Amino acid sequence: MTDFRDAFAQGQAAFRDAERARSEIDALLFQFTEQVNEASGGLLLVRREKRPGPDSRTGIFLTADGLQRRTLGSTYDALTVGRSDGVETDRVELCRFDLAETSYPVTLQYARTEERCHDREALEEGLKRMLANPTTGGLLARLLDRPRAA
């Protein structure tokens, strides 16, 4: 007779490991967001958000709660940045941000670059390289160069 107890225990341990890794990643992203905000003099805010995929459609749909804007189709996670001072700007995508089922590796896709980060240290270095990239620098400079809100 097959014994599934070991597989069950392995699944529980894998879940706990993935949750710990997700918490570690969330803490690092909080630190990243805070430091980008500080480096920009408080003008830029980074967020992790769902973005519509290439096959998605956005429209106005009638729901039980009334008319609502909805996106149908695939989505992906991204780190985006926008102004924090009320200047009307669209949020700019810094990178696609994809977590594996086990949390690591995290894949960053930006400026024709793809990085697979297998642990916290690699993710820290990947985020640093993204900020130091000239394409990313240009995106941030354009946001910073807009006049401040009155």
Read off the pLDDT of residues 7-33 as tens digits, 9 standing for 90 and up: 999 999 999 999 999 999 999 999 999
**For residue 131, what pLDDT band results from cuts at 50, 70 and 90?**
very high
pLDDT of residue 85: 82
Place of tokens 């980060």: 117
Residue-level pLDDT at 123: 98
Whether the per-residue pLDDT at 61 is higher than 70: the answer is no
With a cut of 70, say whether residue 127 has pLDDT above it.
yes
Per the model's pLDDT, the better-predicted residue between 63 and 116 turns out to be: 116
pLDDT at 88: 64
Burial of 53 (0-12, 13-18, 19+ CB in 10 A): exposed
> Which one-letter DSSP state was computed for residue 124?
H
Of the listed ranges 84-88, 111-115, 142-146, the one predicted with least confidence: 84-88
- Cα–Cα distance list, 42 to 35, 82, 85 (Å): 9, 11, 8
